[in-house]
Amino acid sequence: MPAEEELERQIEGIASLRDPLRRALYLFVTRTGREVSRDEAAKEVGVARSTAAFHLEKLVDEGLLDTSFRRLSGRAGPGAGRPSKLYRRSAQQLQLSLPARHYELAARLLAGALSQAIEQGSSPLQRLAEDAAALGKSLGQRARGKSVGRSRGVRLAKVLHALREEGFEPYREGNCVYLRNCPFHVLAQEHPNLICGMNQSLLQGLLQGLRATGFDARLSPERGRCCVTITPDIDSVRTPAP
């Protein structure tokens, strides 16, 4: 999911829990570790069943709870009664970070590279670079869609859009694109050679997936921004006539 959509989803989920009653219901469902009925939830928080049902359904609408139907009596057939609607915590995770951070993505890349290196006896750094580039390429292909920009301006616009969607907060100065945000900020601060190299491979792959020919992802660490800059490929830049 693009970073902006993920941020909006997270904010909506957290805003939903601002209501004390709704938050109490969510925490009750979470603590039980099983499916709970409307009657159970209403009794736990001390409200009418209809009130509990209203707020439980709001939590379902926000993706925070999942539902199922089951007869609580355990009986089947005529006379067993109607199935009850039950609620359980959904798989959606709430972990809001501003600006966007993607530490889980970094962990998956690092763990996958180390695992493959151990199994194959290869270089962990080489595996990490290859895996990051492959992931970046798939992100670029998804962002590109079916159209490919022919002019440099169109390709640059696609690059800016894709980087914005992934949470890099890009901005343009001339033909270069700088990144205000590093989604791996803390890791990059502690292990710059490892993480910045991974990030460069990821963004180089993104450019390939976008088919943004004429641009390159280069390391250019600068205080207050991401260590990678998108620049015109030196080989594609024509020297202006005198």
Domain ranges of the chain: 3-89, 103-236
Q: Of 11-20, 31-40, 42-51, 110-119, give the lowest mean pLDDT range.
A: 11-20
Residue 239's pLDDT is 44
Sequence-separated (6 or more) residues with CB below 8 Å from residue 197: 125, 128, 129, 219
The answer regarding whether domain 103-236 maps to CATH 1.20.120 reads no
Q: Summarize the confidence of residues 69-85 as an average pLDDT.
A: 71
Work out the mean pLDDT of the chain and round it to a whole number: 85
Residue 242's pLDDT is 36
pLDDT of residue 148 exceeding 90, the answer is no
Is residue 60 within 8 Å of 67, Cβ to Cβ?
yes
Is residue 49 within 8 Å of 38, Cβ to Cβ?
yes
DSSP string, 204-234: HHHHHHHT-TTEEEEE---TTS-SEEEEE-G
Band of residue 223 on the pLDDT scale cut at 50, 70, 90: confident
Q: Give the predicted TM-score (pTM) of the model.
A: 0.64
The per-residue pLDDT for range 99-124, each reduced to its tens digit, is 678 888 999 999 999 999 999 988 99
Is residue 182 within 8 Å of 163, Cβ to Cβ?
no
Q: Do domains 3-89 and 103-236 have the same CATH topology?
A: no
Q: Residue-wise over 212-236: b if at least 16 C-beta within 10 A, else e?
A: beebbbbeeeeeebbbbbbbeeeee
What three-state secondary structure class fits 195?
helix
Q: Which residues sit opposite 218 in a β-bridge?
A: 229
Alpha helices in 62-123 (DSSP H): 103-120
Cα–Cα distances (Å) from 158 to 16, 32, 142, 149, 177, in that order, read 34, 47, 12, 8, 12
Band of residue 195 on the pLDDT scale cut at 50, 70, 90: very high
Residue with tokens 């709704």: 22
Residue range 3-89 forms a domain whose CATH class is mainly alpha
